[in-house]
């Protein structure tokens, strides 16, 4: 899993809007690389991502990492959103 709370906040904001293919790409992204810091560096564009992870979900993660609204992201969200029915 990605570095928290970054990953938890991204998941809370985006998983409910992803289609099946995007969810599969997200699953591969957070489970295949052996180093969570690599994912963080790819998302913040400190390092280039491998070609296999250059897709729409990485673009979403990069946009999220820019934090254009300057939200405070210092703690993980409550996990109740995982148990709420889909809208």
28 phi and psi angles, rounded to 5 deg: -60, -45
pLDDT for residue 86: 59
pLDDT for residue 51: 96
The stretch 41-50 carries a mean pLDDT of 93
User: Using one digit for the tens of pLDDT, what is the confidence trace for 61-79?
Assistant: 999 888 777 766 555 555 5
pLDDT for residue 11: 85
For residue 23, what are the contacts with CB-CB under 8 A and spacing of at least 6? Answer: 15
In the predicted model, is pLDDT for residue 9 greater than 60? yes
The stretch 11-33 carries a mean pLDDT of 91
pLDDT for residue 32: 87
Domain at 2-67, CATH homologous superfamily: Flavinator of succinate dehydrogenase (1.10.150.250)
Report whether 2 contacts 67 (CB < 8 A).
no
């Amino acid at each position: 899993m990605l570095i928290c709370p970054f990953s938890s906040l991204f998941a809370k904001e985006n998983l409910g809007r992803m289609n099946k293919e995007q969810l599969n790409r997200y699953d591969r992204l957070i489970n295949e690389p052996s180093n969570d810091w690599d994912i963080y560096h790819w998302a913040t564009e400190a390092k280039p991502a491998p070609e296999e992870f250059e897709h729409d979900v990485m673009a979403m993660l990069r946009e999220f990492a820019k934090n254009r609204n300057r939200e405070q992201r210092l703690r993980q969200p409550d996990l109740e959103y995982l148990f709420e029915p889909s809208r």
